[in-house]
Amino acid sequence: MKVNMKLFYNLQEIILVCKKDELNLREGEKMERYKVSNECVGCRACVSVAENNFGIKNSLAYVKKQPLTKEEESLCQNALKVCPVNAISKVDEINQANVVVTSSNTEGLSWDKKKEGFYVIDAREINHDPFDVIMKKAYEIKEDDGFVLIQRFEPYPIINMLSEMGFKYETVKKSNDEFRIYFYKKLNDKVEEQKNNSKVDVVIQSATPVAHPVIMKLLQSERIKKAINIKELKVWKDTEKHLAWITNRKADISFSAIITAAKLKNSDIKIPALFVWDNFVLLSRKKIKGFEDLVGEKIYAPLFEEAPPAKITKYLIKASGLNPDDFNFVYGKPFGRPEQIYKDFVEHKADNVILREPEASYAIKIMQDRKEDISVISYNKLWNKVNPGFGMFPNAGVIFKGEFVKEHPNIAKMFTEELKKAIEWIKNNRQEAVKLSFDVMQQPENRVELFLNRVNFQYIEGNQLVEKVKQYFDILNKNGIADVKIDKEFIEMFKLGV
Ligand code: SF4
């Protein structure tokens, strides 16, 4: 169905005016207006306090109706107070004087009429990471056309990224919590077109949010911009499908967990560098020193029983002299998703959870803000207790389709060099890295800051990498966690070979 966007906007404005009139008519005085931020953890407390005004959609609260009477306003005020994560706040009145262009790079471009017909992406209505949706639209948009992104804040990382991809933009602040960013794909001139034609088309995918800040930094690399035309940047929420994408070369470069990627040993892939280490923790509401204090308790684990996180956990339990059958592991249906597990933990629905980064840091930060004590046990500590002297253990890295490396060896090499620089930059510029990635990660800056301070980013390649993964898979194989033969092909997989 084709929607006349201008008519749509006019209708929106009429509805807004009518709603305002309704408020004034009923009460003859100004009522407060409320909003729910994406920090909501879906605990339903607001709904039970003010059921006429708050509802739950896709596990998150939303304002069903702004208060129309004093009684409703008082209930909304109570909902604001009971919200455990301060996700409810009052909305500043829309003040036309605030409707300003806050930033733009459109000098000399006349597009005022055109932009009113742009496709609309309202990120406030999207209950998952909007990054994927925005990138998909950015790649689809033809020259001399554009789209408008509506967000609660000015999303600098997305603006920077799309500017680098050749988009012109203009940000209009409609109110304190409504920014409209108009993105326009300008017509390429002939020289620019020829330059783009000499670039290599590449599809990049990520199956792990831990890599988001790294990807954002890579997209700023001048060398990458000159050599690569990013045809698609796919960020998976349901990570299962990404293996198929790299196997059948729908993707050329991937960011994935090593245990999963190593299953593709015979599918022509290269894993020349790992950069995420020690990525799991055990969080408990109880004061614990380790698994020995959780015998008989429920432990919520990511993915499913046969997946590496649960298998490694059971191995660590067994190796420390305990019986895994004495614990009650709980898995989500069909999978335990980390995003759900961390929400269950902060909502007191789960007392003991196994989490990866970045969700572990999000949960820790929420609990710190609430001044609720929790135990945080690092898997590095547990791993080294049963494997003394092992040091950090591998988690995720960069994967290339072998065919891509053969066709473009210099680009593959350049990409790994830029990856190494990106990791070093993040380690030395954590505050800037927060600014670069927080809206892509759909979290407040302070949670992303904690994540970047906790995560173990180390770029490891070459012989050091080969030795480490051999040691690691040797332990995994011996303990039935993996079944990957450590032979010549296995070792070659960790070398770029260019
Ligand atoms: S977290 Fe806050 S906004 Fe979300 S459902 Fe609970 S009380 Fe409502």
Tokens of 55: 């509802």
Domain ranges of the chain: 5-90, 96-185, 199-278+395-493, 280-386
Full strand arrangement of the beta sheet holding 100-104: 100-104, 167-175, 178-185, 145-151, 119-122
Residue nearest to atom 8 of ligand 1 (CA): 46
pLDDT at 267: 83
Q: How far is CA 9 from CA 93, 116, 264, in A?
A: 19, 9, 49
415 Cα: distance to centroid of ligand 1 (angstroms): 42
pLDDT at 20: 36
Residue nearest to atom 2 of ligand 1 (CA): 83
pTM of the model: 0.68
**Cβ-Cβ contacts under 8 Å for 140 (sequence gap 6 or more):** none
171 Cα: distance to centroid of ligand 1 (angstroms): 30
Looking at the CA of residue 41, tell me the nearest atom of ligand 1: 1
Reported as a pLDDT band with limits 50, 70 and 90, residue 17 is very low
* Sign of the dihedral defined by the CA atoms of residues 417, 418, 423, 426, in that order: positive
User: Per residue in 383-440, pLDDT tens?
Assistant: 999 999 999 999 999 999 999 999 999 999 999 999 999 999 999 999 999 988 887 7
Q: At what angle do helices 156-164 and 131-140 cross, to 10 degrees?
A: 30
45 Cα: distance to centroid of ligand 1 (angstroms): 6
Please state, in angstroms and rounded to a whole number, the distance separating the CA atoms of residues 437 and 209. 11
Percent of the chain predicted with pLDDT > 90: 43
What is the helix, strand, coil percentage profile of the chain, to 5?
A: 45, 25, 35
Full strand arrangement of the beta sheet holding 200-206: 228-235, 200-206, 253-257, 394-401, 269-277, 456-461
Tokens of 158: 């997305």
Tokens of 391: 């040091």
In this structure, the number of other CB atoms found within 10 A of the CB of residue 305 comes to 11
349 Cα: distance to centroid of ligand 1 (angstroms): 14
Looking at the CA of residue 36, tell me the nearest atom of ligand 1: 3
Mean pLDDT of all residues belonging to the chain: 83
Residue 321 or 29, more confident: 321
Spell out the alpha helix ranges (H) of 212-333: 212-218, 222-227, 242-247, 258-262, 308-319
Please state, in angstroms and rounded to a whole number, the distance separating the CA atoms of residues 268 and 400. 9
* Position 90 pLDDT exceeds 70: yes
123 Cα: distance to centroid of ligand 1 (angstroms): 19
Provide mean pLDDT across the span 450-458: 96
CATH number of 280-386: 3.40.190.10
Q: Please tell me if the domain spanning 199-278+395-493 has the same topology as the one spanning 280-386.
A: yes
260 Cα: distance to centroid of ligand 1 (angstroms): 35
pLDDT at 266: 81
Provide mean pLDDT across the span 471-495: 92
CATH number of 199-278+395-493: 3.40.190.10
For 37-55, give the DSSP string.
Answer: -TT-----HHHHH-TTTEE
In this structure, the number of other CB atoms found within 10 A of the CB of residue 307 comes to 17
User: What is the best residue among 34, 35, 39, 44 to mutate for testing ligand 1's pocket, by most ligand atoms within 8 Å of CB?
Assistant: 44
pLDDT at 122: 86
Residue 160 or 257, more confident: 257
135 Cα: distance to centroid of ligand 1 (angstroms): 29
Nearest to 478 by CA among 258, 315, 301, 304: 315
Residue 5 or 320, more confident: 320
pLDDT at 100: 57
Please state, in angstroms and rounded to a whole number, the distance separating the CA atoms of residues 447 and 243. 29
Provide mean pLDDT across the span 435-464: 92
Measured CA angle at 109 (ends 103, 111), to 5 deg: 90
Reported as a pLDDT band with limits 50, 70 and 90, residue 232 is confident
Inter-residue contact 393 to 278 (CB < 8 Å): yes
Inter-residue contact 216 to 437 (CB < 8 Å): yes
User: What is the best residue among 83, 347, 349, 369 to mutate for testing ligand 1's pocket, by most ligand atoms within 8 Å of CB?
Assistant: 83
pLDDT at 244: 74
48 Cα: distance to centroid of ligand 1 (angstroms): 10
340 Cα: distance to centroid of ligand 1 (angstroms): 15
5-90 CATH, one of 3.40.640.10, 3.90.1150.10, 3.30.70.20, 3.40.50.12780: 3.30.70.20
pLDDT at 22: 36
User: Per residue in 114-164, pLDDT tens?
Assistant: 777 788 888 887 766 677 678 778 777 888 888 989 888 878 767 877 776
Residue nearest to atom 6 of ligand 1 (CA): 43
User: What is the best residue among 35, 51, 88 to mutate for testing ligand 1's pocket, by most ligand atoms within 8 Å of CB?
Assistant: 88
pLDDT at 456: 96
Residues near ligand 1 (Cβ within 6 A): 36, 40-46, 61, 83-85, 87-88
Please state, in angstroms and rounded to a whole number, the distance separating the CA atoms of residues 93 and 241. 44
Provide mean pLDDT across the span 33-43: 82
pLDDT at 3: 31
Q: Return the top range by mean pLDDT from 10-19, 211-220, 456-465.
A: 456-465
Provide mean pLDDT across the span 174-185: 85
* Position 92 pLDDT exceeds 70: no
pLDDT at 190: 54
Residue 368 or 93, more confident: 368
344 Cα: distance to centroid of ligand 1 (angstroms): 13
Please state, in angstroms and rounded to a whole number, the distance separating the CA atoms of residues 404 and 147. 32
pLDDT at 193: 53
pLDDT at 336: 82
> Architecture of 96-185 per CATH?
2-Layer Sandwich (3.30)
pLDDT at 9: 33
* Position 102 pLDDT exceeds 80: no
Please state, in angstroms and rounded to a whole number, the distance separating the CA atoms of residues 338 and 355. 6
User: Per residue in 299-342, pLDDT tens?
Assistant: 999 988 878 889 899 999 999 999 999 999 999 877 788 889 99
Looking at the CA of residue 56, tell me the nearest atom of ligand 1: 5
pLDDT at 1: 33
pLDDT at 76: 92
User: What is the best residue among 85, 90, 127, 345 to mutate for testing ligand 1's pocket, by most ligand atoms within 8 Å of CB?
Assistant: 85
Looking at the CA of residue 86, tell me the nearest atom of ligand 1: 2
